[in-house]
Structure 1
Amino acid sequence: LLYLDGRSLVDMPIEERKELLGSLIIPSDFVQTSPHAVGAGHALADASRARNLEGIVAKKLGSAYRPGRRSKDWLKIKTVHDADVVIGGWSRGERGRSDTFGSLLVGAYSDEGLRFVGAVGTGFNARSLDDLLSKLRPIEQPERPFAEDPRELKSMYGGKALRDPHWVTPRYVAKVEFRELTTAGRLRAPSFKGLRDDIEAKDVRFEALQASVASSEA
């Protein structure tokens, strides 16, 4: 609730604005106000993770609404998982990254071979882009290493076909963070966190990825 009776409420403490909003809303099947909890942030975050929800928003008592500005008074705490994945290729970058790769094509081993689990397009800086490309170019190969062809999975790329994939020998293991593992076995919103030099690609198993997600949600 930002305005009421022609008066701006943006400087009013969050708890007072919520109280005003509650006095105006008659709960029904169509309209509800969102409940909040004071002092139970860790428990709520754990409950969100257990239900595989996106996360929670923590707002400091007494804080005001600041249009167009980020503030440490309001924090979005996302549910994330981490996993090790095998780099099996990269896709060509566009616009500001046209001279490097757009995303890493990654997978994990199952009984059928290297299973494609997603495209990692965030988490890089200029240095990591250059470093990764210098490692991947020398191990390019004509054959795709994945058991399935990522080019046929258009839904992974906003309905667009994967452009100009470059396949590589599956040598490097990357650590990624992601929001969830979908029912199709794809990583949702994966982000690159670095390379692993203490694990071999052949030891990265899809079953272990599934188990790690399941245990964090238990």
Structure 2
Amino acid sequence: MLAQTGVHRTGSRVVAEVKYDGCRGIVAVDGHRIRARSRPGSSMVGWFPELGSLAKDLAGRRVVLDGEVIAADPSGRPDFGRLQRRIGRTPRRLVGLDPVRFVAFDVLSVDGSSVCDRPWQQRRELLEELGESAGPQWQVAPVFDDIDAAVDATSEFGLEGVVVKDRSAPYRPGQRTRAWIKVKHTTVSRFVVGGLATTSRCRDALLVGDLLPDGRIAYRGCVEVGTAKGRRAEAAHLLRQATTEASPFDSPPGFSQVVWVEPLLIVEVRHLGTTRGGRLREPMLMAPVDVVRGGL
């Protein structure tokens, strides 16, 4: 079940959960057997062998859980960069990497019977019962009745945001519904543009980065401008008037169809921070786009 982005409700009919900066997945426990799949469908058991503890803690019960695998920084905040180092690795290559834990926020099946049609409140009670046996490598996600306070607190502590959920809503696998509303805490930053690339979704994606003292650009990511008209199209037009033969980036990105431009234009980008490698997470060009000539 997927959340929509929008204006959230408040009141007694909804609750808030922390939106964790992790790897979403469905974990199925069948006796002593564990299966876990990420949203794209990849098996997660090899990446996160800690999930095996659920079988022991649940003492042979058959349960299907929805939740997120997270890795924490020294202050306890989820850090996707630390988690990213685990994704795609074999168990033998996990030695020395950051530990993870599973945070369960919903239950789809208990003892072989689906509970998806039950309202969130009833599923939550079942989940809390299961969570009584949770060990150190997994937990049940906390919920908050005061929605505005949860939004403010997650922003203050540098968390990704919250998901506001309707207490009466059933679980609808694969559906994006307004029964779950996500509120993300984003950052707006200014970056210099050093190129235009053609991607599978966009003809004029902006290659952006931070301007270095020597005039080159430290690459931070690719920001797709989509098919919108107006100022976005104007930005692409202006950039094409400043083309150059050489890449202005300190480490040029490996796009096959790219046009390099002089580092003269600045754009504002909304994003969810950066990966450990310094790449923007979920960058989105602000609309309308403000393109400014000059330095940062």
> After TM superposition, is the score higher than 0.5?
yes
- Report what 1:10 is aligned to: 116
* Aligned residue pair count: 187
Give, in angstroms, the shift of residue 64 of structure 1. Answer: 1.8
Further displaced range: 24-33 or 168-177:
24-33
- Report what 2:12 is aligned to: none
Q: CA RMSD in A?
A: 2.7
> Identity over aligned residues, as a percent?
28
- Report what 1:57 is aligned to: 163
**Structure 2 segments unaligned to the other structure (5+ residues):** 1-106
Give, in angstroms, the shift of residue 29 of structure 1. Answer: 2.0
- C-alpha distance in 2 between matches for 1:106 and 1:35: 38
1:178 aligns with 2:271: yes
Give, in angstroms, the shift of residue 59 of structure 1. Answer: 0.8
8 Å CA contact 1:145, 1:170 repeated in 2: yes
- C-alpha distance in 2 between matches for 1:92 and 1:6: 48
- Report what 1:133 is aligned to: 236
- C-alpha distance in 1 between matches for 2:198 and 2:173: 37
1:29 aligns with 2:136: yes
8 Å CA contact 1:172, 1:196 repeated in 2: no
Aligned 1:81-92 pairs, distance under 5 A: 81-92=187-198
Give SS of 1:2's match: strand
Give, in angstroms, the shift of residue 7 of structure 1. Answer: 4.1
Aligned 1:185-204 pairs, distance under 5 A: 185-194=278-287, 195-197=289-291, 199-202=292-295, 204=296
- C-alpha distance in 1 between matches for 2:260 and 2:290: 20
- C-alpha distance in 2 between matches for 1:66 and 1:184: 35
Give SS of 2:248's match: coil
Aligned 1:67-146 pairs, distance under 5 A: 67-94=173-200, 97=202, 100-101=203-204, 103-127=205-229, 130-146=233-249
- C-alpha distance in 1 between matches for 2:216 and 2:153: 33
**Structure 1 segments unaligned to the other structure (5+ residues):** 152-160, 205-218
Would you tell me which structure has more helix in proportion to its own residues?
A: 1
Give SS of 1:140's match: coil
Q: For the structure 1 residues 45 and 89, does the alpha-carbon distance in structure 2 shift closer, same or farther, using more than 3 Å as the test?
A: same
- C-alpha distance in 1 between matches for 2:155 and 2:219: 21
- C-alpha distance in 2 between matches for 1:80 and 1:7: 39
Give, in angstroms, the shift of residue 175 of structure 1. Answer: 1.6
Structure 2 length as normaliser, TM-score?
0.54
